[in-house]
Amino acid sequence: MKRAFSRAFSILLIGFLAAAGSLFARENGSGEQSRSPFVFDYDVQLFGLQLGVGYRGAPIVQGLDTIFWIFGGGGWQQLYYYRYPDGSVYTGTGENDNPAVDPFYRRANAEWRLGFAQGILFNEKTDKNLLEYFFFYQGRYDYHFADWEFTAPILFQADTVPDRYGILQNSFLTGLSLNKVAFNEQSRVTSGIGAEASVEWGPSFLGNDAVGLSDFARLNLTGKAYLPVFNIAPERRFNLLSGYVCTFVSLDASFGGSIPLNIRQTFGGRRPRIGLGDAVLGADDAKYDSRFKFVQNIEFRVNGPAFIWRGLLAGALVFFDYGYYNNLDGLEAGFLASTGFGIYLHIFNLTSLTLYLPQVLLNEPRSNGRYVTPVSFEFDLQL
């Protein structure tokens, strides 16, 4: 789940960058607006922000975008580690466990990334690469520190976790991505498909033994699809009632002698996502930190009438999530599933606020023994 440490500040900052990019667009002799040579990307998290600036003004192949990217950012996060010091899965029933408090730790981190994306096919409708190859060097520094409430978080007691106190990590990321996703400004309905296949490699000889230790490779396959279902009164300038089905699928497998927490607890790719716990709504955040994991999220969304402006509207959704995890050791494997509904507010093309109530786990409770999470909030910035 993503939240900004100062939501108003983040929205204003991203909005400013988007506006700044438009300043580079100029009218040509025919009165048409030329493309900006700059593009922006972002990722927001609890008490943190990562920004990317791309330059596409020097294409290698005419008619295809070549984008040179640089990213930087950092933040402070409260994360979770659901394992006992011997590596077994945390149950909340141990002698010193407090089932009312999730076993968290806190992390300060800095991240940076440098690379490029080269178009292979171009999509004239979206004015973006349809198919592209990408390659990045990426680095990060994580520092885990003791909490004033917990003098010795469970993570710090895990002698078998080389990065329990923090890590300096370097890796290479490469792959292919397909983007055939389009957005209808009138109905606020998304349609089309997207996919990505990537490999990340972080061997120890890249300096990954200086702080902590990482020596890993990760394969990730991700796909998403959006199918419009109905649009009442499409001739209207403002949306009246519209609906669509969307799904997200991700498969993630990691290998190596020392797989760091930030790899085990996420789905990889160009935009890493919190792992199976949280990807399956209602499950303990980052609990299922296995070497192999799979998730599929399915939602049916109904957009209500637009308020005053066509970019401002509320809607409702129902969801079904399921996933599978396997630590590839013959000991840990299983399925998760959850369902529920929610309401959301779409604010122009800038942000979407979603309130899930409730989330019901279907086959395995949280570590506190509960199957139902009454409410959770999700916040996403968009460009």
Specify whether the CB–CB gap between 126 and 179 falls below 8 A.
Answer: yes
pLDDT above 70 as % of the chain? 88
Lowest mean pLDDT across 39-53, 61-75, 264-278, 314-328: 39-53
Question: H or E segment at 182?
Answer: strand 166-183
pLDDT number for residue 103: 86
Q: Check whether 152 has a pLDDT greater than 70.
A: no
| Rounded Cα distance, 10 and 16, in Å | 10
Give a yes or no: residue 57 inside a domain: yes
Give a yes or no: residue 1 inside a domain: no
Range of the domain at 202: 7-381
Q: Give the chain's domain count.
A: 1
C-alpha pair distances (Å), 318 with each of 297, 338, 352, 382 = 11, 11, 16, 22
Give a yes or no: residue 263 inside a domain: yes
Q: Check whether 27 has a pLDDT greater than 70.
A: no
Q: Where are the alpha helices (DSSP H) in the chain?
A: 7-22, 261-264, 276-279
DSSP percent split of the chain into helix, strand, coil, nearest 5: 10, 55, 35
Lowest mean pLDDT across 30-39, 171-180, 205-214, 342-351: 30-39
Give a yes or no: residue 261 inside a domain: yes
Give a yes or no: residue 2 inside a domain: no
Q: Which tokens in the block code for residue 50?
A: 């990562």
Q: For strands 376-381 and 351-361, give the pairing.
A: antiparallel
Task: Residue 207: give its domain's CATH number.
Answer: 2.40.160
